[in-house]
Chains A and B, each alone.
Chain A
């Protein structure tokens, strides 16, 4: 009997554009630029498309915030191999630091956000530093516990506004700034990190994920690399937290909420891990979805979880990996 199987072959244009010859024709340049351009111009034009729907312009902000947190999760989990379930830790610390600076010390907004990001990420890095030697489940558990711990401490000690949170923060001057600031941050973070992981240091980071002992044997300080990566990831997370606090003009316990841990993870799982763009695409899907599902109340968490489990078990590669494969390769039947 004639047996057939499927074979995947790289498209000719993909192979041609890998080298320096990409500049030889417009078609090949277009092949390379097209996906990136769609993402950039798509994100930039979102506020214009939704000009008449102010509610959805808010949703765009939230979506970008989740995308940034998802990028930070993806960076730590799939590049460095540290699974940090504490997205809420970064957001909460960033938000509270920014609120303290803005509300108690009267820093203006353009100072409080960057300062809060830096000081918050130093704080988060110091918290995570002792657990860097933990592995797998242990690291995941401790990072999951941190945000819960801070929530309960703030609740129990009734500091920093207690359960009411810190109110009356400065808002952004107008909605244009509000929208484009976060989109700009998202693009810078996305392409900056993609640049970084293709540099030498990125290579070392991926090596730490695969085999840390051999990295250590090469005379590279693994702890330093990990600390650096955690600092970068928590900087990104704190930045989005600080932005969020000013967006809501309020910093409260919900900044430490599990939403900031579970939704980015769902986004990365759906979008496809390891490429950072997958995180953005995942949030582009899941955050608007959650707005549609707002009608269902808490039931939407159930829907997320079910989607997450389905993707995790049935389609663990994610959407982006699938699309990339279709874009770069074609399939054909060959006889065996």
Chain B
């Protein structure tokens, strides 16, 4: 029962930040390796706003998400727009930017265990004999709400439909007057909002550490590769797989192996079925 409940919670929070990664990829075709950096930045900014400027919790959350949106929009406008379409330069550039942010934060003093975000509501609850703290429940609730918002945003707003169009067929939607660069910026912003929300929800469960940036990146890549790069439904299902596997390895083997399992999953998926479980990008597989 414990495995089931914690696996479920873990999977839902996992799918939140993995969705940020896969959303950006599916719309702009840019593997955003600066994803983990945005995650850590949002958490750290929230801490800064709360502790240095003594702002209200919700205000500082909103402000930090806003700032991280601006950062990721700037990453696109200043760097990525010049090298769009060159796969490798994109990977290297986003990776370098992410590295710069993460290591810059580490240098800037984000070390040790002094940085913690408060939970929204402290305390815990017993469900079916398993003790779950409120923070995890709230995380699940907010994640679900975010999914719903995302669903309606993509389904029923003009911008959302444009995003979907770009993701499905870039050329055709450009012919219909959708600005590809603008949509890519929007995808970066939406991606960083989702990432920021997940950072604010997940960081209270532990300390804000820069290593989280790397782990989040690895797990996001694992989830989106297993689900098929660019496939949103696939990402959600894959995060359930990874989430349960994570909990199972933690319970039955040891928590050291969590990341080993994720990495192994990436390798095995890429070797056996590179387009992922639900990927549609068969053209990326080479026929040789």
Contact = CB atoms under 8 A, between A and B. Distances in A.
Given A133-B285, A302-B107, A309 B93 contact: yes
B264 A149 contact: yes
A212 B251 CA distance: 47
B145 interface: no
A32 B8 CA distance: 68
A242 interface: no
B31 A297 contact: no
A318 to B, nearest CB: 12
Nearest to B82: A313
A133 B286 contact: yes
Contact of B79 (A131, A149, A152, A313): A313
Interface in B94-130: 95-97, 99-100, 103-104, 106-107
Contacts of B263: 145, 148-149, 152
Nearest to A127: B267
- Which residue of B31, B93, B100 has the most chain A CB atoms within 10 A of its CB atom? B100
A302 B108 CA distance: 11
Interface residues of B, number: 42
A140 B33 CA distance: 12
A316 to B, nearest CB: 7
A40 interface: no
B96 A142 contact: no
Interface in B232-288: 254, 256-257, 259-260, 263-264, 266-267, 270-271, 274, 284-288
A135 B267 contact: no
Interface of A: 77, 83, 85, 130-138, 140-142, 145-146, 148-149, 152-153, 155-156, 212-213, 216, 222-223, 262, 265-266, 269, 296-299, 301-302, 304-306, 308-309, 312-314, 316
Interface string B168-189: 0000000000000000000000
Contacts of B78: 313
6 contacts: A134-B270, A138-B274, A140-B88, A145-B221, A149-B264, A308-B92
Given A83-B91, A130-B271, A142-B270, A301 B103 contact: yes
Given A137-B31, A302-B104, A153 B284 contact: no
A212 to B, nearest CB: 6
Contacts of A135: 284-286
B225 A141 contact: yes
A141 B92 contact: no
Contacts of A222: 288
Nearest to B90: A137
Given A77-B88, A140-B91, A156 B79 contact: no
B161 interface: no
Contacts of A146: 267
Nearest to B86: A316
Interface of B: 31, 78-79, 82-83, 87-93, 95-97, 99-100, 103-104, 106-107, 218, 221, 225, 229, 254, 256-257, 259-260, 263-264, 266-267, 270-271, 274, 284-288
Contacts of B83: 312-313, 316
A134 B274 contact: yes
B82 A136 contact: no
B187 to A, nearest CB: 17
B103 A299 contact: yes
Contacts of B270: 131, 134, 138, 141-142
A155 to B, nearest CB: 7
A336 to B, nearest CB: 27
B100 A305 contact: yes
In the complex, the 4 A-B pairs of residues with the closest C-beta atoms, listed nearest first:
A305-B100, A305-B96, A156-B256, A149-B263
B112 to A, nearest CB: 14
Given A153-B260, A299-B104, A312-B93, A305 B254 contact: no
Contacts of B95: 262
Nearest to B284: A135
B96 A308 contact: yes
A312 B80 CA distance: 10
Contacts of B218: 145, 148
A131 B225 CA distance: 14
